[in-house]
Chains A and B, each alone.
Chain A
């Protein structure tokens, strides 16, 4: 079974630009969650999508958005990039149950904003 695939692996963007990251979950998984990892803040939850609907949202500004397609693939978008958005963005795939659900992570997208 293929794992979680994130593309691209690396990105360099300029302040003010926008960026779109992609995540393909494990086949059969209906939940996709996104996390931001930085040295200062650690791993922070961005949002979760289940069956094309946002089911949960972390404490991030509206510049961070996402969506999920009917095949469960998900994208996240960051508009008006700031230097502080430089981070490793991780996508997690799970079956989507309400409890006791193991999450499987992709390799991440390393975003650098200059």
Chain B
């Protein structure tokens, strides 16, 4: 079963705009991770944020985590057509097991 929900399910923007995706989860976690998946291929790890962290940056990516609300957001700034993909959040509570959200399909139009 899925740990949480992602919002929106689909997002379409123009190149250069920012894209924000949200993720909610249900249980206490050790960390939350974001992944990207291009059309039926493998998952690419984007960023990991620990439960004691509130914000993390990596290049054009900014992730926030609010453990009191059990939610996270992924912001992609200055989006490019190559950012078109599905984005998944995944929580880790123990061991290496990841519990994934349903994903957000991002389309960046040139």
Contact = CB atoms under 8 A, between A and B. Distances in A.
Contacts of A100: 30-31, 48, 50, 92
Contacts, number: 75
B33 A102 contact: yes
Given A55-B95, A103-B98, A105-B44, A42 B30 contact: no
Interface string B1-42: 110000000000000000000000000001101010000111
A43 B88 contact: yes
B46 to A, nearest CB: 10
B31 A99 contact: yes
A66 B2 CA distance: 22
Interface in B54-110: 88, 90, 92, 94-103
Given A99-B31, A107-B42, A92 B2 contact: no
